[in-house]
Amino acid sequence: MEKFEYKVKIDAENAQEAAEKVKNLLIFAKKLTTEQLSKINTEIKNRPDLIPFIIEISEEYAGKEIGLLDAISVAKKTYQKFIK
């Protein structure tokens, strides 16, 4: 997968040029996303036996995220008690 980083300095003189660069960057990002999703769809079509595994991993990840969010919430409440 390609990695891209692009920095644009925008001022009144180069606003049109900057807009074009941003537009091109968005087009590139859309193309890259479409290609990656296409690869995922191809794998799913070739290996439908992987779907239950993908679902299981997604559920486990969601469970960990919920635990993390709960821990952050508790830490935030504890912190707020100490700063009052």
Query: What is the count of structural domains for the chain?
Result: 2
Residues present in the chain in total: 84
Instruction: Assign 75 a pLDDT band (cuts: 50, 70, 90).
Output: confident
Q: Residue 1 pLDDT more than 70?
A: no
Task: Please indicate, yes or no, whether residues 33 and 61 belong to a single structural domain of this protein.
Answer: no
Res. 72: pLDDT tops 80 = yes
Residue range 8-12: mean pLDDT, rounded: 60
- If you average pLDDT over residues 11-38, what whole number do you get? 83
CA dihedral 48, 53, 55, 61 (to 10 degrees): -150
**pLDDT > 70 in the chain, percent:** 83
For residue 10, the model assigns a pLDDT of: 60
Concatenating the DSSP letter of every residue in 4-68 gives: --------STTHHHHHHHHHHHHHHHHHHHHHHHHHHHHHHHH-GGGHHHHHHHHHHHHHHHHHH
User: What is the domain range of residue 14?
Assistant: 1-46
Same domain, 57 and 40: no
